[in-house]
Structure 1
Amino acid sequence: MMRQLERRVVNVDDFARLARRRLPRIFADYIEGGAFSETTLARNRVGFDRYALSQRVLRPLADPELSVSPGGRKMDLPFGPGPVGFLGLYRRDGDVSVARSAARHNVPYVMSTFSINGLETITRATGRAPDFQLYLDRDPEVNASYLAACRASGVEQIFLTVDTAITSVRERDVRNGFRSVDRITPALLWQFARRPAWSFEMLRGGFPEVELVAGRPEFGKGALAQAGNLSARLDKDLTWEKLRRLRDDWQGRLIIKGISDPADAERARAEGVDGIVLSNHGGRQLDHGMAAISRVADIRRALGEGPVLYVDSGFRRGSDIVKALALGADFVLMGRPFAWAVATGGEAAVDHLFRLLRAEIGITLQLMGLSSLAELRQEGNLVLPFQA
C-alpha cells in the first residue's frame, strides 16, 4: 500500500484530489472552502508567487539541517500540523493518526477544541500532551473545564484563537448544511452511500462525537449537532481584557492565533504573550483580506525578536515554508494538507506528507546554496519581490 501511495501522491494537491474522491461532499467542502467569494483563500496561494528565491551555486553543501527551536522547544522540522476541527470525521481516529505521526517527526501536534479525539485519548496514544487550540466559549465555566483538562493532560502551550468571534459565511457549508443539520438526513445518507469506503470505516463504530464535550447536553449528541453548537457558543465579545484574564488563569505558554495586522502584533508583544500565529484562518473568515505570506516581514518587525512567530494559511509546498522562514517566521502550521492526507490514507499517508515536504525543503535549500535553515536566516536577501 505504501508503494502505491508513493506513486500516486507526489505533492499536497494529489492528497487533496484523492481525499475528495473518498469523502462525502459535506466534509470535503468543509475542508476546502473559504469565506464568501473565497478571494482570501485564492490570494493565500497567489501571494507565494510574488516572492522569488535566489539561487547560489558552487558552494560546499552538506545534508540539509532542518531543525528549529521556536520558543526554546527543539523540533526536527520547521512545520507541523495546525489545528483542524473534526479530523476524526475524515478518518476514524484521525486526530490520533496525525498526532502520532507528528510525534515520530518530533514536531508538536496542535489539537483543536473541535477535535473528535480528546486530550486524554491523544496523550495516551502518543505518550505526550498535544498543544491545545482554544476557542473561548461564552460560558466561563466551560472555559474553566477546558483549562482543567489541559492541566490534567500536561498541556504546556495553548493557542487562543481570536479571529472567529464573528463567524463568517462559508457558502459551501451553507449549501451542504454543515453546522445547521444536527442529525443524519436522507440527503446525507445519499452522500454517504456514494462513498462506501468512508461509510464502512466511519459508521462501523457509531457516528463520532467531539470527545471534549461528549456527555454535555448543551452541546448536543453526535459530531454534527456538536459542530453547530460549538460554533454558536463562541464568545463574541473577545477583548484584550479577556486575554489578560486568560493569561492570569493559565500559567503555561500562551500564543494568540489569528493576528494579521502589525498594530495587533505590537499590542500582543506589549501584553507579554509568548507568541502569535499570523493567520487569516485559511481564508475562512475575512473575505478580500491579504495573503498571509505578504504580512510575514511586517509582522516580524512589529513583534520583535522575542515572541515566537508562527504562520499559517495557504501553505502547500516546501518552497512556501522556506519563503516564510526567510521573511522572519519561526515555524509554519499547516491545516488542510494534514486533513487531506489523513483522509486519503490515515497515519501512513500523514507520514508520507511529512517526507514529501521534508524533501522539498531540503532540495530547495540546497539549490539556494544552503545546508541549513540557520544559514537561510544568516544570509538574508534570498527571498525577493517578484513580478513577471
Structure 2
Amino acid sequence: MSFDRHFLNVDDFQKAARRRLPKIFADYVDGGAFTETTLKRNGADFERIALRQKVLTNLKDPDISTLLNSTRYTLPFGPGPVGYQGLYRRGGDLAIAKAAAKAGVPFVLSTFSIAGPETIARETGVAPQFQLYLDIDPDVNASYLSQCRKAGVDTIFLTVDTAITSVREKDVRNGFRAVDRITPHLAMQFATRPGWTLDMAMGPFPQVEIIKGREADFGKGALAQSGSLAGRLDKNLTWETIRTLRKQWDGKLIIKGISDIKDAAQAAKEDIDGIVLSNHGGRQLDHGLSTISLVAGIRQALGCEKSLYVDSGFRRGSDVIKAIALGADFVLMGRPFTWAVTAKGERGVSKLFQLLKVETETTLQLMGLSSLEELKAEGTSALRFLDKE
C-alpha cells in the first residue's frame, strides 16, 4: 500500500507511531491525568457542535490564511509545543520545524525539546517561537531568554498550567521520569521496537540542548533530564510573574494554559499579546472542561484586541473550523504532529499538513464559504449546538 493511501488522517499516524515507539514513550505522548476524563472530553465535545451546510453560493478558491499578531500565515493551525520530540525520532524537532517553515506557519519549540532554538533557526533559516517553562533558578531562565534572543525568537509562550504537575498513571506505571538510565526492563521494550532502537543508535543518546553545560544540575541524557526539568518548575507563578517577564522580554508574549473566564478577563488587562486556551491536552486537571466548549466565553472575556490560540483535542480540519467560528484565531496541535514525525519523519509532517489543509478547505466550502474572514463574519451562526436543540 502506498504512503498516500496508508495515511489518510491523524489516527493513522497515531497508530503507526505507537507501532514504532517503545511503550514508555508512546504512553507519555498519549496519556492524560488520572482517569483521563478531560482528555476524553477534549475529543468528544466536538461532536456536540454541528456545522451548517449552505449551497448555491458564489464560491471562490478557498482562502484559509489568517492574520495573527500582525503576521499573515497560510494556515490557521500549526504544531503545538511538545517536549522530547527528538527522542521519539532522531531530529524530530527539526523535522517538524522544517515542515512548518515550508507550510508557512510558525513552529513553537518547547523548553523540553531536544533541539535548542539556535539549532532550529540555523538549520531551517526561520527562528522558532518558544514555549517557556520557568525554572526555580533565575539564572537558568535568563539563559533561556538569552538563547532565544540569539536565535531571533520573536514570540514566547509562557506556560502557566504546569506549576503543579498532575499524575499521569500511564507514566507512573512505566516509570517515565523515574528512570535515569536504560534498565533491563527498558532494554526489553527497546528490543521490540527495532526501527526506533536503530534510529537512536545512529548517534549519541538525545539530550535537551537548551540546558547544555548544566548537566551537573539536570543530569545527562533525556531520560534523566526529563525528571529534573519537571521537578525544577517554578511553583509560585502569579500575575506578577507575567509583569516581571514582560519587563525582561521585548518580543511578543503569550500566556499558555488559561481555561477560566476570570483568568481570561485578567489577561485582557495585562501587557501581553494573547493567550492559549489550553488544558494541556488533558494532562493536568482531571474532570476539567474541554477547550472547544470554552472558546466563545474566553473570547468574550478576552476581548478582540488580543490573540486567542486554542489547543487540546484537535484532530480534524472541521475541528479547526469550529474553533475559528467560535472566536479563536489559531489552533495549535501537539500530539498529531508528534505522531506524524514519529511515524514518518519530515515527510509525515508535510503529509499531515496537506491532509489537514484539504479537510479545512473542503469543510469551509461545503458550508458555502470561501475564506476564514467569511467564517468569522458568520461566527456562531455557522454552527448548530446539538445539546441546545
Structure-2-length-normalised TM-score:
0.98
Other structure's SS at 2:69 match: helix
| Overall identity of the aligned pairs, in % | 64
**Alignment-derived partner of residue 148 in structure 1:** 146
2:267, 2:48 → 1: CA distance? 28
- Deviations 1:39-88 (CA, angstroms, capped at 9, x unpaired): 00000011111111000001111221010011111100000001000000
- Deviations 1:79-122 (CA, angstroms, capped at 9, x unpaired): 00010000001110000000000000110000000000111110
Matched to 1:37, the amino acid is: T
For the pair 1:208 / 2:206, whether they are aligned, the reply is yes
- Deviations 1:155-184 (CA, angstroms, capped at 9, x unpaired): 100000000000000000001111110011
- Deviations 1:258-279 (CA, angstroms, capped at 9, x unpaired): 0001100111111121000000
**Alignment-derived partner of residue 324 in structure 1:** 323
2:200, 2:67 → 1: CA distance? 37
Structure 1 residue runs of 4 or more that deviate by more than 3 Å after TM superposition: none
Matched to 2:284, the amino acid is: Q
For the pair 1:235 / 2:203, whether they are aligned, the reply is no
Deviation at 1:215, TM superposition (A): 2.4
Q: How does 1:1-388 map to 2 (within 5 A)?
A: 4-216=2-214, 217-380=216-379, 381-387=381-387
Contact 2:78–2:105 (CA under 8 A) maintained in structure 1: yes
2:372, 2:255 → 1: CA distance? 25
Matched to 2:4, the amino acid is: E
- Deviations 1:191-221 (CA, angstroms, capped at 9, x unpaired): 0000001100112202100001122110000
1:204, 1:52 → 2: CA distance? 48
Deviation at 1:4, TM superposition (A): 2.1
Contact 1:214–1:221 (CA under 8 A) maintained in structure 2: no
Other structure's SS at 1:62 match: coil
Contact 1:215–1:221 (CA under 8 A) maintained in structure 2: no
Matched to 1:263, the amino acid is: K
2:241, 2:328 → 1: CA distance? 26
Unaligned runs of 5+ in 2: none
1:230, 1:5 → 2: CA distance? 37
Q: Number of residues paired by the alignment?
A: 386
- Deviations 1:103-161 (CA, angstroms, capped at 9, x unpaired): 00110000000000111110111101100000000011100110111111111000000
2:219, 2:2 → 1: CA distance? 41
Matched to 2:207, the amino acid is: E
Matched to 1:325, the amino acid is: I
Matched to 1:80, the amino acid is: G
2:209, 2:151 → 1: CA distance? 14
1:125, 1:384 → 2: CA distance? 45
Contact 1:5–1:349 (CA under 8 A) maintained in structure 2: no
Other structure's SS at 1:80 match: strand
Unaligned runs of 5+ in 1: none
Contact 1:133–1:158 (CA under 8 A) maintained in structure 2: yes
Structure-1-length-normalised TM-score:
0.98
1:125, 1:67 → 2: CA distance? 25
- Deviations 1:14-38 (CA, angstroms, capped at 9, x unpaired): 1001110000001100000000000
Other structure's SS at 1:369 match: coil
Matched to 1:366, the amino acid is: Q
Contact 2:278–2:310 (CA under 8 A) maintained in structure 1: yes
Contact 2:208–2:222 (CA under 8 A) maintained in structure 1: yes
Contact 2:79–2:100 (CA under 8 A) maintained in structure 1: yes
Task: Let me know the Cα RMSD of the aligned residues.
Answer: 0.9
2:44, 2:304 → 1: CA distance? 28
Deviation at 1:379, TM superposition (A): 2.0
1:361, 1:297 → 2: CA distance? 20
Matched to 1:31, the amino acid is: V
Contact 1:22–1:198 (CA under 8 A) maintained in structure 2: yes
Deviation at 1:5, TM superposition (A): 1.8
Matched to 1:223, the amino acid is: A
Contact 1:311–1:332 (CA under 8 A) maintained in structure 2: yes
1:308, 1:384 → 2: CA distance? 25
Deviation at 1:345, TM superposition (A): 0.3
